[in-house]
Amino acid sequence: MTANNNSINLSTRLQKVAAFLPNGANFADIGSDHAYLPCYVCLQDQTAHAIAGEVNEGPYYSALETVERYMFAKRIEVRLGNGLSVLQKDEVNQVVIAGMGGALIRTILDEGKQSLDTVQRIIAQPNIDERSVRYWFYENGYTISNEAILEENGHIYEIIVADRKADGSQYIPDLFEKQLLFGPILLNEKSDIFIQKWKHERNKRRRVLDEMKKATEKDKQKISAFEKELLWIEEVLGDDNSNPKS
């Protein structure tokens, strides 16, 4: 990440997140760290406004510094506080929560539900456990309108865009659990990066399963859950098991 006063060279991951915000966005970036994302968006779009939320003082002061450097104090408000508690009712139309684990994103959404009344779009970029974020959207009346998967610096990231329209039609009952795990849109697209991610996950799960089966005290429930998921992954990859290491 490099920045000067006219531009921000943002990570590809956060650029992709930003691309899912509409023109004239009025959004909150929760866990904003240096507030690079809201500053980048405001540099690109003169009509955008943001609230940058941070729970920790270090990143909060870094965010204040960045906003001051770009002279965006009138368009980006930096607030110190936990998750969505920094928001008043009806203040923003979009929320970004990026660069955290899925469980934390889910907790932030759950604890702050009452702040989401006017929020039309949530853009989540969980570093792990994307499934739990998708499940939260499913349970809370959001439909996944877009997903992206990308590789940067050796990491594969998923971005989940959820819009408030509770038709739930994207889920097919027989495929529901698979769609939650792989992502309904990513599963349809099966991009090269998606295949790369799930080959890696398949190999990792095979190793873990081997270890679990060797244990003296076997956790049969866990083993069977792992076996079920491994089978789904193999199906999605079109494995014929003739070349299990590929």
Closer of 48 and 104 to ligand SAM (Cβ)? 104
Answer yes or no: are the C-beta atoms of 116 and 87 closer than 8 Å: no
CB of 97 to ligand SAM, least distance (A): 7
Q: Are strands 8-9 and 2-3 parallel, antiparallel or unpaired?
A: antiparallel
Closer of 69 and 218 to ligand SAM (Cβ)? 69
Closer of 151 and 239 to ligand SAM (Cβ)? 151
Q: Residue 44 is which amino acid?
A: Q
CB of 107 to ligand SAM, least distance (A): 7
CB of 188 to ligand SAM, least distance (A): 26
- Only one residue has tokens 């909060």, namely 60
State the residues that interact with ligand SAM by CB under 6 A. 14, 30-33, 53-56, 59, 82-83, 98-100, 104, 108
CB of 194 to ligand SAM, least distance (A): 21
What is the separation of C-alpha 35 from the centre of its chain, rounded to a whole number of angstroms?
A: 17
E-assigned strand segments in the chain? 2-3, 8-9, 26-30, 49-54, 76-80, 94-100, 121-126, 143-152, 155-163
CB of 220 to ligand SAM, least distance (A): 36
Answer yes or no: are the C-beta atoms of 198 and 240 closer than 8 Å: no
CB of 32 to ligand SAM, least distance (A): 6
Closer of 98 and 233 to ligand SAM (Cβ)? 98
SS3 158: strand
What is the separation of C-alpha 84 from the centre of its chain, rounded to a whole number of angstroms?
A: 16
Closer of 24 and 81 to ligand SAM (Cβ)? 81
